[in-house]
Amino acid sequence: MKNKVFIFIVGIVLATTFISGQNPIIKGVFTADPAPLVYKGKVYLYVGHDTATVDAKTYQMPDWLVYSSSDMVNWESHGPCLTVKDFAWASYAANAAHCIERNGKFYWYISIIHRANTDSKGGVAIGVAVSDSPTGPYKDAIGKALITNDMTTDMKHAWDDLDPAVFIDDDGQAYLFWGNGSCKWVKLKENMVELDGPIYTFKPQNFTEAPWVYKRNGVYYLVYAANFPETIEYCTAKSIEGPWTYRGLIQDRSYNSSTTHPGIIDFKGKTYYFYHDGSLPTGGDYRRSVCVESLYYNPDGTIQKIVQTKEGVKAVNEK
């Protein structure tokens, strides 16, 4: 009898010790570059899909996946909703992307290596797909790239035009931000698929890539991957056109991944911070995993440092 009680207690201790936490939130496949979207009481999470082998030395990213959740804990997979093959002008490498809703249509901006540039120059370009539903079906909205490598010349490397992030201001003006090495931005026309003016380039402190832009209490926030290996840092501004003031670091390096990538939303009264690390078994630089944490602001609007946890976030109730 004593033995049975002992085994029972040891069992309880082991079970509570090894209950797996919520992070990473997607466990069946490797995912990266999270871009969350809140729409009609749900979070839609658009992610890149890492399929590289364990010993790979570069990315293998054939498509983008979509997940949705009503409570931030249970995630439904909608599968690959867009692939490299959906862009006739594209070559390979489904890099970071961002989907945004406007007037009931969903515009999914993606970065990918352009077919025309795969020979000597290479060259990441930005395209846009459109759908009537957040989970597709999506089709290439314009049949060509929206941004090509030759449209920005301040950076000499071929992958400086990646990681699109779109923001629509209160007056309806849409902006596309993107970049590696320098941050670029341009106005978009109301149709969301044409540029509406010149491209501007600037260098936020420590900027590497992965901009994420939003507005809170009249202040514009530009959050981005900084340095390499990457941390996440941010700037704020009174105007979306800048000047941007550097505000510091919000996320340390993520576990077992040289890159990380921010995505921030407000949902049911809380603020959530998505990023990626390499924490799944056999994970690493090219086998990454999307995680989520709570994000908190100080009374002056500055962002508190993100605590990377295994537990992630709790289920959020209806508000």
Q: Which of 23, 69, 95, 308 binds ligand FUB (CB under 6 A)?
A: 95
- Please tell me the count of residues contacting ligand FUB according to CB under 6 A: 13
Q: Rounded to the nearest whole angstrom, what is the least distance from the CB of residue 209 to ligand FUB in the complex?
A: 5
CB 41 within 8 A of CB 48: no
Q: Which residue's CB is nearer to ligand FUB, number 64 or number 220? A: 64
Q: Rounded to the nearest whole angstrom, what is the least distance from the CB of residue 120 to ligand FUB in the complex?
A: 22
Q: Which residue's CB is nearer to ligand FUB, number 74 or number 227? A: 227
Q: Rounded to the nearest whole angstrom, what is the least distance from the CB of residue 13 to ligand FUB in the complex?
A: 38
Q: Which residue's CB is nearer to ligand FUB, number 94 or number 186? A: 94
Please name the helix (run of DSSP H) or strand (run of DSSP E) that holds residue 7, with its range, or none.
helix 2-17
Kindly give, in sequence order, each residue whose CB lies less than 8 Å from that of residue 226, ignoring residues fewer than 6 positions away.
205, 206, 207, 208, 232, 233, 249
262-295 CB burial, b ≥16 within 10 A, e <16: bbbbebeeeebbbbbbbbbeebbbbbbbbbbbbb
Q: Which residue's CB is nearer to ligand FUB, number 48 or number 283? A: 48
Would you give the binding string for ligand FUB spanning residues 29-48, x where CB under 6 A is met?
A: ---xx--------------x
Is residue 285 close enough to count as binding ligand FUB by CB under 6 A? no
Tokens of 54: 């364990």
Q: Which residue's CB is nearer to ligand FUB, number 194 or number 254? A: 254
Would you give the binding string for ligand FUB spanning residues 114-153, x where CB under 6 A is met?
A: ----------------------------------------
Tokens of 14: 């082991």
Task: Starting at the earlier edge strand, list the strands of the sheet with 270-277.
Answer: 263-267, 270-277, 289-294
Q: Rounded to the nearest whole angstrom, what is the least distance from the CB of residue 7 to ligand FUB in the complex?
A: 46
What distance in Å separates the CA atoms of residue 107 and residue 139, rounded to the nearest whole number? Answer: 10
Is residue 162 close enough to count as binding ligand FUB by CB under 6 A? yes
Q: Rounded to the nearest whole angstrom, what is the least distance from the CB of residue 65 to ligand FUB in the complex?
A: 13
Tokens of 158: 């071929």
What distance in Å separates the CA atoms of residue 252 and residue 286, rounded to the nearest whole number? Answer: 19
Query: How is 9-53 classified by DSSP, letter by letter?
Result: HHHHHHHHHS---S-SS--SSEEEEEEEEEETTEEEEEEEEE---
Q: Which residue's CB is nearer to ligand FUB, number 210 or number 213? A: 210
209-268 residues in contact with ligand FUB (CB under 6 A) are 209-210, 225, 259, 261
Q: Which residue's CB is nearer to ligand FUB, number 86 or number 160? A: 160
For 12, counting Cβ atoms within 10 Å of its Cβ (0-12 exposed, 13-18 middle, 19+ buried), the class is: exposed
Is residue 163 close enough to count as binding ligand FUB by CB under 6 A? yes
Q: Rounded to the nearest whole angstrom, what is the least distance from the CB of residue 261 to ligand FUB in the complex?
A: 4
What distance in Å separates the CA atoms of residue 249 and residue 134, rounded to the nearest whole number? Answer: 32
For 260, phi then psi, to 5°, come to -150, 170
Is residue 278 close enough to count as binding ligand FUB by CB under 6 A? no
Q: Rounded to the nearest whole angstrom, what is the least distance from the CB of residue 231 to ligand FUB in the complex?
A: 13
Query: How is 99-133 classified by DSSP, letter by letter?
Result: EEEETTEEEEEEEEEEGGGTTTT--EEEEEEEESS
Is residue 280 close enough to count as binding ligand FUB by CB under 6 A? no
Is residue 96 close enough to count as binding ligand FUB by CB under 6 A? yes
Q: Rounded to the nearest whole angstrom, what is the least distance from the CB of residue 266 to ligand FUB in the complex?
A: 23
For 15, phi then psi, to 5°, come to -65, -45
The binding site for ligand FUB (CB under 6 A) comprises 32-33, 48, 59, 95-96, 162-163, 209-210, 225, 259, 261
